[in-house]
A and B are shown apart, each in its own frame.
Chain A
């Protein structure tokens, strides 16, 4: 079946540091890929998505590139802020029902 593997957290960074959160996937079909973010006390929000190989999703300074050859969708940001502290979930979806399979989430803590 479909699965998503994310790097374990927490990831602890200083403000303005470079961020990478690794995500790899296994899928039986041709998936769409997503990153969701969950801020403390809030629901999940879609951060960015990519629907085909070599697409780059981007939003709020975050970006991720759909790499079919390495089955990866790593999340990056050039300069993190304290307000980026949250849990980040990588997810994939195949087929028309749009039922995503989520990874376990990676907690990001950014210190001033």
Chain B
């Protein structure tokens, strides 16, 4: 068990560019979550997957944000046409969730995005 990994750890991009972040969850975990964290705030939920199905995406911040988990393993979060307000830490978490249970989420170290 190597934990949740995220790549890259830091990304600097110019306004208007597209960026993509990757998350590799703990291998047997079926749920994967994406959050955004801005300075001085707690994590803000964006979306989550159970296996390859995206079960909640209404809280993605705008239609510029999209996420995929094509084979139920790693996931990508893409931000198109980045804006300075997108600068934040993007966190990924995974969990093993049998139906009806509440289980611990394991967080990755995050990807820090800076939009200039």
Closest to A4 in B: B42
Check A100 against B104 for contact (C-beta < 8 Å).
no
Stretch at the interface among B10-18, B69-77, B78-86, B107-115: B107-115
Check A97 against B42 for contact (C-beta < 8 Å).
no
Chain A residues near B66: list those with CB within 8 A. none
- Report how many residues on chain B are interfacial, defined by Cβ distance under 8 Å: 27
Closest to B44 in A: A102
Q: Please tell me if B105 contacts chain A, counting CB pairs below 8 Å.
A: yes
Check B102 against A104 for contact (C-beta < 8 Å).
no
Check A97 against B48 for contact (C-beta < 8 Å).
yes
Decide yes or no: A100 and B45 within 8 Å by CB, A43-B91, A93-B102 being known contacts: yes
Check A97 against B95 for contact (C-beta < 8 Å).
no
Closest to A41 in B: B109
Check A98 against B4 for contact (C-beta < 8 Å).
no
Assembly CA distance A37 to B91 (angstroms): 14
Check A43 against B107 for contact (C-beta < 8 Å).
yes
Decide yes or no: A32 and B102 within 8 Å by CB, A43-B109, A45-B107 being known contacts: yes
**Chain B proximity of A111: nearest CB distance (Å):** 22
Check B104 against A46 for contact (C-beta < 8 Å).
yes
Assembly CA distance A98 to B55 (angstroms): 12
Decide yes or no: A100 and B105 within 8 Å by CB, A43-B110, A89-B42, A91-B42 being known contacts: yes
Check A104 against B41 for contact (C-beta < 8 Å).
yes
B contact set with A: CB distance below 8 Å? 4, 31, 33, 40-45, 48, 55-56, 91, 93, 95, 97, 99-100, 102-110
A contact set with B: CB distance below 8 Å? 4, 32, 41-46, 49, 51, 89, 91, 93, 96-105
Query: 15 A-B contacts, Cβ less than 8 Å apart?
Result: A32-B102, A41-B109, A43-B93, A43-B107, A43-B108, A43-B109, A44-B43, A44-B91, A98-B97, A99-B33, A99-B45, A100-B105, A101-B45, A102-B43, A105-B41
